[in-house]
Structure 1
Amino acid sequence: MAGAGWAPPRLDEFILTEPLGSGTYATVYKAYRKRDTREVVAIKCVNKRSLNRASVENLLTEIEILKTIRHPNIVELKDFQWDSDHIYLIMEFCAGGDLSRFIRTRRMLPEKVARVFLQQLACALKFLHDRNISHLDLKPQNILLSSPENPQLKLADFGFAQYMSPWDEKHVLRGSPLYMAPEMVCRQHYDSRADLWSVGVILYGGLGFYCPGGLYSGLLSPSPSPPTAPFPPTEALFGKPPFASRSFAELEEKIRSDRAVELPSRPQLSLECRDLLGQLLERDPRKRISFECFFAHPFVDMEHIPGPESLGKATDLVVEAVRKDQEGDASAAFSLYRKALEYFVPALHYESDARRKEAIRAKVRQYISRAEELKVLVTSSNKNLLEKGNPARELLKEMAKDKPRLCAALEVASAAIAKEEEGKDDGDALELYQQSLGELLLLLAAEPAGRRRELLHAEIQTLMARAEYLKDQIKMREAQSMGKEALAESVRSGCTLQ
């Protein structure tokens, strides 16, 4: 490892400068290519004499995996060399540091920023999952950022990675304790779903104990032995990790517990974010969210990740919206404009050419304005329909007096309607609608034929219509808000995330 007065190794093609981080058997240096463009790289120098058998296997796996994969959200291995003393991994240089440092400097990450990083991490994991590769050491220190401004996430350190299909089962303890899945800590069978638990801990906000290696410590696979340093509190989405502990023994006890991971009520997060966290931090890997469901989850929303296809999808939807608008179908046009805005926002983030970016901004302003006009028409029309009296509901309540569960579900539905009509918190109203409908649908399946079943079926249809209407209103507001924010952020340019 590097120390005071210790000169870096020499490589014919590169000038090695300051160390970026050091670990058990390697040091990472910032370096410049001597010829041509003087390209900046990071060189991981592995001391051969410090390698044991496990370290050699980890290093060979890392080289084998990285030399065959190329993805914008994975650190690129440009080349590898060796001499009598060292093995050199020439890596892509990431000037933005690692995710743990990024979070520490901001203390708490807003949900929308955490979502951008999660989407990029999901892109990298899908690329790996499609190739049966599991990382097995996901943590903020192993997630680098391309630059201080407009940072793009880069997954690093594949020293513990394995070619592992979902049906493979391993026993070897791998990774960092704070991010390890319970099945790994308990030395049970585990598979690729262990990575999803780690994603949940990262999203929750657990940064782990301080890594003295600093920048690029993520490129240095730590020893799998338990740390002895305390685990100080850190701050991200919830301001602390899910298993804040003062020792490894305390951490291990918390991870081994069979109690469900509780999500704090503050700060207030979207229902989609909370739902995903709950499914990721499921202790039983058989009940944990699958990769397929993770990639399809509405909070991850991989469909709307900024990319070259975003503008084309938005344009196609706008063409259809304009057609419906001209035909006088305000509801359909409103919905299509909303969907188009959900693609225009990532298109704005993706576009780098200033002239084309300004053209997109102008179009977005135009479509937001028209969508707001249509929203007034659609809202007044739908509200008139929904505000009409419903005597059938009162009759159903009378007929449900001998069914406590049905009475309770109808009370929740009434609470949802009252909350919606207050107009203060549509998110809470929608959650109440979903709770009541979940229970009412179960009761409908068990309800025998007759007048009560007919009334129950009709009531469910009415509640579904109200819930869908409310959901559409919420999504439209979000799309409009995102569109306006994207316009403001793109004007400020350097402040946006890719």
Structure 2
Amino acid sequence: MAATSSFAPPKLADFILTEKLGSGTYATVYKAYSKGDSREAVAVKVVGKKTLNKASMENLLTEIEILKTVRHPHIVQLKDFQWDSENIYLILEWCSGGDLSRFIRSRRLLPESVARRFLQQIAIALQYLHERNISHLDLKPQNILLSGSVLKLADFGFAQYMSPWDEQCVLRGSPLYMAPEMVCRRQYDSRADLWSVGVILYEALFGRAPFASRSYTELEEKIRSDKPIELPVGARVSRDCRDLLLRLLDRNPDTRLTFGQFFCHPFVDLEHMPSADSLGKAKELVVQAIQKDQEGERAAALSLYCSSLEHFVPAIHYETDRLRKETLRQKVSQYVSRAEELKALVASDNRQIFEEAKTTRDILREMSADHPRLRVALQLASTAIAKEQSGLDENDALDLYQQCLGELLLALAAEPQGRRRELLHGEIKSLMTRAEYLKDQIKMQETQKDVSLAREPLSESVRSSCCLQ
């Protein structure tokens, strides 16, 4: 139901309203231009006063109040609001790329690296809102707009000021993205937004929401079920991505990932999201890498190159100027090449150390007949090494290294002075070297993929596959 009965858009003193972009129960959204010299494009949300009941009027006033106070690059800006005898007008920032729902449908599935960059932008906006006790309560792809490669949260019609201890029972939002505690009419709080984020990420990666259904009845049955959420059969996602999805999509809000855990999660990785600071951080690290390289400290140089690349790649994505972006990408490719050379040299340097460590490990195993836990940890180390050398699953090997190092460090703390303690200390040092080297290899592989993706700027992808207006 549109907010106005006329086919012609309403008239505003300072704006020319043009095509209708969409309509809902209470509002119609138009593209518009300011009448001044700037001819600035905006979106105008027109709300018919006659369509508003008491609850919807309260929602609208809260939306205006919230949008007037928030200023964030990943939240749609309210530029002004006006009213006349028939309508209330919200003049909003114009986002030329349409919404995330349309973008996902145009691609069917998003690569994990693209979904991750989108998620980082949603997370940083939610962090800003969470610090101000604001809950959106209607997060869904249709309410996330694209402006070039930038995502912006929009439509705060159901948003509320909610402290972590505040609870509500009023049904808000869209059932497909709504937390189970909301659909089941139980008390809910700000954690409902985290469930919605999980659904959005799931849909971005797999092309459909976890409770996709043919009818509302079927949808409600799925939501009310106690069956844990499962990823689609054969889903190929990273370990961190899988962990985040399943922890966000926990039906029980008390055991669901907290906001603090979400913002710090390794898949969200806010430290490495594209930002104005990315290039500065990258340059600082690469200067240190070059210095260590010149001093012949290959392992330290490799580690620093890898750390710098974790900031250089976001810097490429953040850069909007096509020429500067290409120049930066070429420079990053040179650093990747040097890191590859160092990787081979470090592997050669390590070969003899690792051979000597194998002999030490055999001796240590023989000396650990009376220490079952230590023997198990050493066996775990051997399994990690074998998995690393097979090259089949380096992330699995890294996890095994971390497990066995944890056990060996505990054993070292309890070990008295003597020959076995000396050997154990050497084994831990050797395994840490292997784990650090493996970590650098994994970083390098991810960076090379990201540099390749950066050849086609995301903003171009958005424009070519999501020409909505």
Q: TM-score range by the shorter chain?
A: 0.7 to 0.9
Root-mean-square deviation (Å)? 3.1
Question: 2:255 aligned to 278, 287, 298, which one?
Answer: 287
C-alpha separation in 1, matches of 2:249 and 2:98: 27
How many equivalent pairs are there?
458
The aligned residue for residue 163 of structure 1 is: 161
The aligned residue for residue 228 of structure 1 is: none
Structure 2 residue identity aligned to 1:332: A
**What are structure 1's unaligned runs of at least 5 residues?**
206-235
Structure 2 residue identity aligned to 1:382: N
Deviations 1:140-191 (A, max 9, x none): 1111111xxx431111110111111222222222211111122222333322
Secondary structure of 2:80's partner?
strand
Structure 1 residue 420 and structure 2 residue 421: aligned?
Answer: no
- Distance verdict in 2 for CA 1:59–1:424, change over 3 Å: same
Q: Is the 8 A contact 1:341 1:483 kept in 2?
A: no
Q: Is the 8 A contact 2:138 2:172 kept in 1?
A: yes
Deviation at 1:102, TM superposition (A): 0.6
Query: Which structure is higher in helix share?
Result: 2
C-alpha separation in 2, matches of 1:239 and 1:71: 29
Instruction: Using the TM superposition, name which of 328-337 and 186-195 deviates more.
Output: 186-195
Structure 1 residue 475 and structure 2 residue 446: aligned?
Answer: no
Secondary structure of 2:30's partner?
strand
Deviations 1:202-255 (A, max 9, x none): 1011xxxxxxxxxxxxxxxxxxxxxxxxxxxxxx41243212323333323322
The aligned residue for residue 53 of structure 2 is: 52
- Distance verdict in 2 for CA 1:496–1:103, change over 3 Å: closer
Relative to the length of structure 2, the TM-score reads 0.87
Deviation at 1:472, TM superposition (A): 2.4
Deviation at 1:17, TM superposition (A): 2.0
Structure 2 residue identity aligned to 1:345: V
Structure 1 residue 153 and structure 2 residue 154: aligned?
Answer: no
Structure 1 residue 21 and structure 2 residue 18: aligned?
Answer: no
C-alpha separation in 1, matches of 2:105 and 2:335: 38
Deviation at 1:309, TM superposition (A): 1.4
Structure 1 residue 189 and structure 2 residue 187: aligned?
Answer: yes
C-alpha separation in 2, matches of 1:448 and 1:320: 37
C-alpha separation in 2, matches of 1:186 and 1:262: 20
C-alpha separation in 2, matches of 1:445 and 1:162: 53
Deviation at 1:461, TM superposition (A): 6.5
Deviations 1:390-412 (A, max 9, x none): 214643785577x8xx8877665
The aligned residue for residue 345 of structure 1 is: 313
Deviation at 1:50, TM superposition (A): 1.1
The aligned residue for residue 466 of structure 2 is: none
Q: Is the 8 A contact 1:444 1:457 kept in 2?
A: no
Structure 1 residue 199 and structure 2 residue 170: aligned?
Answer: no
Instruction: Using the TM superposition, name which of 382-391 and 269-278 deviates more.
Output: 382-391
Secondary structure of 1:191's partner?
coil
C-alpha separation in 2, matches of 1:34 and 1:162: 34
Question: 1:297 aligned to 265, 275, 294, which one?
Answer: 265
Deviation at 1:52, TM superposition (A): 0.8
Deviation at 1:481, TM superposition (A): 3.6
Question: 2:398 aligned to 423, 427, 430, which one?
Answer: 430
Secondary structure of 2:320's partner?
coil
Structure 2 residue identity aligned to 1:270: S
Instruction: Using the TM superposition, name which of 8-17 and 440-449 deviates more.
Output: 440-449
C-alpha separation in 2, matches of 1:465 and 1:326: 21
**What are structure 2's unaligned runs of at least 5 residues?**
464-469
Structure 2 residue identity aligned to 1:131: R
The aligned residue for residue 256 of structure 1 is: 224
Structure 1 residue 378 and structure 2 residue 346: aligned?
Answer: yes
The aligned residue for residue 326 of structure 1 is: 294
For 1:91-130, list aligned pairs within 5 A.
Answer: 91-130=92-131
Structure 1 residue identity aligned to 2:120: Q
Relative to the length of structure 1, the TM-score reads 0.83
- Distance verdict in 2 for CA 1:268–1:399, change over 3 Å: farther
C-alpha separation in 2, matches of 1:52 and 1:457: 72
Q: Is the 8 A contact 1:74 1:154 kept in 2?
A: yes
The aligned residue for residue 268 of structure 1 is: 236
Structure 2 residue identity aligned to 1:299: F
- Distance verdict in 2 for CA 1:385–1:354, change over 3 Å: same
Deviation at 1:373, TM superposition (A): 1.7
Deviation at 1:101, TM superposition (A): 0.8
- Distance verdict in 2 for CA 1:445–1:369, change over 3 Å: closer
